[in-house]
Amino acid sequence: MKKSTFPIMIISALLIFMSIGVAAQTNVRVPILLYHNLVSNAHNENPMLSITANNFRSHIMALKNAGYESISLEQFYDFANNGKPLPEKPIIITFDDGYSSNYDYAFPILQEFATKATIFVVTSTVGATNTVNFPHFTWEQAKQMQQSGLIEIQSHSHSHKELALFDIAEIIREIRLSKYLIETNLNKECNFFAYPYGSISESAIQAVWAAGYKVQCQVGDYGYNTVETLSQPLLRITVNGNLSAEELLDMIEQNVQTDLY
């Protein structure tokens, strides 16, 4: 072997290893969990909309112990578009609506376990206490969560309408006004949108892209997401608040292992 070919061989071997790594990552399946409200003690709440703080803590601890690493939607987007690598077992944790309980109960737990999450807020009810079933956190609290570097605040529309039932002018108002309010109140870009009630229409999807959002999220009970599916509304798994930590892990595994695409 000529001396001069040696570095070339090393470089080629490195390139092959790197491309294997990238190919493996391109096939990555990212589950997105959806939570809503947290409560201190369970009463008769709908388990699809609420979970006790204790059980939520056990979920977050179990995910960590099972090797899941929480990522932001921004990281998923960056991975797909700029090739920034993801952890081995990525998971995205989301909350819809913007309840005060996210700040009071979830935020301290997420900080305790250094876990990232995305909260989709309804901008007309930020800080609302009287006009809603459950109180919603304020812009100040949103800012605090954002400054922790763990929480992304994103859009769940302006007034939580079933967008598919409204005309295009109203859809555009709902998605653009909420984006504007988040950007001006939190002094950052708002690039991700989650449909209220998962109510989606083709014209809404087009309007959300046209408003400048980079990722759209549905409401649902199954599935995972890949680099390819980032160009369509992402699937989220609504977490039943009655699930034990073990059941949660089983449920995620089942979802990630069931081929969809």
CB of 160 to Zn ion, least distance (A): 6
161-200 footprint of Zn ion as x/- string (CB under 5 A): -----------------------------------x----
Q: Is residue 96 involved in binding Zn ion (CB under 5 A)?
A: yes
Q: Is residue 74 involved in binding Zn ion (CB under 5 A)?
A: no
User: Nearer Cβ to Zn ion, position 28 or 151?
Assistant: 151
Contacts of 16 (CB under 8 A, 6+ apart): none
- Residue showing the smallest CB distance to Zn ion in the complex: 96
Q: Is residue 152 involved in binding Zn ion (CB under 5 A)?
A: no
Q: Residue 120's beta-bridge partner residues? A: 96, 154
User: Nearer Cβ to Zn ion, position 28 or 92?
Assistant: 92
CB of 171 to Zn ion, least distance (A): 16
The one among 97, 100, 121, 251 contacting Zn ion by CB under 5 A: 97
Rounded Cα–Cα distance for residues 181 and 178 (Å)? 5
Query: Which residues form the interface with Zn ion (CB under 5 A)?
Result: 96-97, 196
